[in-house]
A = this chain, B = another copy of it.
Amino acid sequence: MPRASHTLLEEVMFFDTDIGGVIHNLAYLRMIEKARTLLCVETMDMDLTAMADTGIYPVLLRTEADYRRPGTLGDTLRVTSTLDRLEKVKFWICSEVRRQSDDTLLVSCQQSLALIKMPEARPTRLPKSWVEKWS
């Protein structure tokens, strides 16, 4: 069975770079959050607009990121996030950032998340539909 996945292309902007002449580490994580969120919205049916009412938000629990090669201004980046696995309350998403022109892997990243009821910060069970479809 194919895994849930989302890919986006990002042009590197000035605010993504720093004085060292390369992309800053936080900029990659911002791009990865975008790919990860769009994966949740477009493939896993998460409804961003409903969150203000339900108070249930996806919350990051852990990030592991490896910065492998530097990217720079003028690069087009291909950012792919893939749902890796689910438990009762946690799910893991793996992401990769590659330079579009030559497919070089710049950053790889694994993150675990949970759906948390705010403001009491209480974890909720993952949707049954996710468990049936993706676990």
Chain A residues packing against B (C-beta within 8 Å): 11-15, 17-22, 24-26, 29-30, 33-34, 37-38, 41, 47-49, 51-52, 57, 59-67, 69-70, 72-74, 116, 118-119, 121
| CB-defined contacts of A21 to chain B, threshold 8 Å | 19, 52, 118-119
Query: Which residue on B lies nearest to A119, using beta carbons?
Result: B21
- A-B pairs, top 4 by smallest CB distance, nearest first, are A49-B74, A48-B74, A17-B19, A20-B57
Copies of this chain, complex-wide, total 4
**Chain B: minimal CB distance from A72 (Å):** 7
Known pairs A19-B72, A65-B62, A67-B59; A14 contacts B29 (CB<8 A): no
Is the beta-carbon distance between A34 and B19 smaller than 8 angstroms?
Answer: no
Is the beta-carbon distance between B18 and A121 smaller than 8 angstroms?
Answer: no
The 8 Å CB contact of A14, one of B11, B14, B33, B67, is B33
| CB-defined contacts of A17 to chain B, threshold 8 Å | 18-19
